[in-house]
Amino acid sequence: MTGGIECLIVVAFIVLVLILLASCIKIVPQAHALVIERLGAYQGTWGVGLHFKVPFLDRIAKRVILKEQVVDFAPQPVITKDNVTMRIDTVVYFQITDPKLFAYGVERPIMAIENLTATTLRNIIGDLELDETLTSRELINTKMRASLDVATDPWGIKVNRVELKNIIPPQQIQDAMEKQAKAERERRAAVTQAEGEKTATVLVAEGKKESAILDAEAEKQAAILRAEAKKEATMREAEGQAEAILRVQRANADGLRFLRESAPDQAVLQLKSLEAFAKAADGQATKIIIPSDIQGVAGLTKTIAEVAKEL
C-alpha cells in the first residue's frame, strides 16, 4: 500500500516537472516579440524562434506585435482660426520598433497616441481657416505625422502615416456650402449654355458666309461658262460665214475659170451681162441702164422687151 502511494507521488512529481518544463519553453512566431523580466527587472527581448525561461524567475512582461497596426480614433471637436467648430476623425498607422520602450515607455500607449493625436490636430487646425482646412488635407496629414512620429519615438513607436478620415462641419456650414456649390454649378451651366449658343451663332454665320461665297463662285463660274459658250458659238458662226463666203468665192472663181476656158464669143458675154443686170434688178428695178457697147447686138430689142416684161 505504501509502495503504491509512493509510486503515485513520483508519477505526479514527474508530470508536474514536465508541465513546468513545457511552460518554460516558448516559441515566438514571426512579427512578434516577447519582453522578459527576471525578478521584476528587464531581462531581454525574445525574437522569432525557440526560447527557454528560468522557472519561477523569468516571466513574460509584454507580448508585442511588430506588424504595422491601424487605429481609427473617434471624431474630435476642433476650432478653426475663424472660430468654426467642426469634428474630425483620424486614422493612425503605426508600427512598434522597440518592444522594450513600448513596454516601459508609457502606460497604455494606444490611449496616449489618441490623446496626442487630438491635441496635435487642435494645434494645427487652430492655425487654419475653414476653407484652408477643407482643402489642405495633405498638409494636415504631413504635419500630424511628423509631430506624432517625434512624440512617440521615446515609446518605441514609429508613426508611418496619419489620415483625416472625415471632416464634419456644423450643419449650417454644410447648408451654406451646399448652396454655394449649387450656385457654382448653376453658374457653370449658364456659362456653358452661353458659350454653346455663341458657338452655334458663330457657326451659323460662318455657314451663311461660306454659302454666299459658294453661290457667288458658282454664279461666276456659270457666267464664265456662258461667255465661253457664247464666244465659241460666235466663233463657229463666223467660221461658218467665212466658210460660206469662201465657197461662194471659190464657186465664182470656178465659174470664171470655166468661162475663160470655154472661150465664149462676144455675143455670149453680152448675154451674160444682160443676165447680170436682170439679177441686179431682182424684180424691183424700174429702170435699167444698158451700156452703149452692147446696144448694137442683134436681137437686143427682144431681150430687153423680155427683161422688161419680167420686171
User: What per-residue confidence (pLDDT) applies to 22?
Assistant: 74
The gap between the terminal CA atoms of the chain, to the nearest Å, is 193
Is the pTM higher than 0.85? The answer reads no
38 beta partners? 41, 58
Query: 12-30 burial by CB neighbour count: b if 16+ within 10 A, else e?
Result: eeeeeeeeeeeeeeeebee
- Residues in Cβ contact with 265 at an 8 Å cutoff, skipping those fewer than 6 apart: none
Among 183, 108, 117, 184, which Cα is nearest to 144's? 117
Residues of the chain falling short of pLDDT 70: 1-4, 174, 255-256, 258-311
Kindly list the domain boundaries of the chain, sorted by start residue. 2-65, 69-169, 174-263, 270-311
User: What per-residue confidence (pLDDT) applies to 287?
Assistant: 56
Cβ contact 90:122 at 8 Å: no
User: What per-residue confidence (pLDDT) applies to 279?
Assistant: 57
d(CA 81, CA 67): 38
Cβ contact 294:270 at 8 Å: yes
d(CA 236, CA 229): 10
Class of domain 69-169: alpha beta
Task: Give 54-66 pLDDT, tens digit per residue.
Answer: 888 888 889 999 9
User: What per-residue confidence (pLDDT) applies to 159?
Assistant: 93
User: What per-residue confidence (pLDDT) applies to 99?
Assistant: 93
Q: How far is CA 181 from the centre of its chain?
A: 25
Cβ contact 118:60 at 8 Å: no
Instruction: Using CB atoms within 10 Å of the CB of residue 281, give its burial: 0 to 12 exposed, 13 to 18 middle, 19+ buried.
Output: middle
DSSP string, 189-251: HHHHHHHHHHHHHHHHHHHHHHHHHHHHHHHHHHHHHHHHHHHHHHHHHHHHHHHHHHHHHHH
Q: Which residue has the cell 519582453?
A: 35
